[in-house]
């Protein structure tokens, strides 16, 4: 069983809606990630939080807004999305982000987002 949980499992939203994806990890990890995965493609990194601070933003459009309220929680706020933003959104966590460390990333089950 994964110790990274994500809600909701499925989300359908219109282009004018505002919604949020939620992620929680119970492993005491200090780094959390958002990935986007399109069908038949590998995951693509969007954001990295380390010790609750944003450390990497992979030039993601501002209609995606991440938030890390504490080291266990990660949110992704969505606003004015486009149909091409429809994808599986994956949250992951790891012990940390130090170079040279192991820092295996563990994924949650994902939220399948459809933008209509």
Partner 1 sequence: QKEVEQNSGPLSVPEGAIASLNCTYSDRGSQSFFWYRQYSGKSPELIMSIYSNGDKEDGRFTAQLNKASQYVSLLIRDSQPSDSATYLCAVKRGYGNKLVFGAGTILRVKS
User: Residues in the site for partner 1, rule: CB under 8 A?
Assistant: 2, 31, 33, 41-45, 48, 50, 55-56, 88, 90, 94, 96-110
**Which CB, 65 or 109, lies closer to partner 1?**
109
**Which CB, 18 or 41, lies closer to partner 1?**
41
Burial of 5 (0-12, 13-18, 19+ CB in 10 A): middle
Three-state secondary-structure class, residue 66 = strand
Instruction: Tell the smallest beta-carbon distance from residue 81 to partner 1 (Å).
Output: 21
């Amino acid at each position: 069983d994964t110790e990274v949980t994500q809600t909701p499992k499925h989300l359908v939203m219109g282009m004018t809606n505002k919604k949020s994806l939620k992620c929680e990890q119970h492993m005491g990890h200090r780094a959390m990630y958002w990935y986007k995965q399109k069908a038949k493609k590998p995951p693509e990194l969007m954001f990295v939080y380390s010790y609750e601070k944003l450390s990497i933003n992979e030039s993601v459009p501002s209609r995606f807004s991440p938030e890390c309220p504490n080291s266990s929680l990660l949110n992704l706020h969505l606003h004015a999305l486009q149909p091409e933003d429809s994808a599986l959104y994956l949250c992951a966590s790891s012990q940390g982000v130090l170079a040279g460390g192991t820092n295996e990333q563990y994924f949650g089950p994902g939220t399948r987002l459809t933008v209509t």
